[in-house]
Amino acid sequence: MSDCKDLLGALSEYLDGNEQSEMCATLREHMAGCDKCRLVVNTAKRTIELYRGIDVVEFPVDVKERLHGSLREAWARRAVQAESRRP
């Protein structure tokens, strides 16, 4: 790989398990000599592993409705703010 920024382009492919591609082989070679990129990849892998092990928790309907309402209000406020900034 030409530099560490190229890692971002191959990271999702690598983490998705498409490790047989040429880009992933290049990524593995790069990581062999780059501690920073190896750390990024290992941290991302570990994060994915941790989240896969978490049980899904269902929220009560009233909690979901309040949350969705709050999010809709916040998005509407942001949209108004963005519109007011337009020339």
Same domain for 42 and 10, yes or no, is: yes
Tens of pLDDT, residue by residue over 1-48, are 457 877 777 788 778 876 677 877 888 888 899 998 889 889 998 998
The verdict on 38 and 67 lying in the same domain is no
34 Cβ partners below 8 Å, 6+ apart? 4
If asked whether residues 5 and 22 sit together in one domain, one would say yes
4 and 28 together in one domain: yes
Q: What is the pTM of this model?
A: 0.54
Backbone torsions φ then ψ of 20, nearest 5 degrees: -85, -10
Range of the domain at 25: 1-56
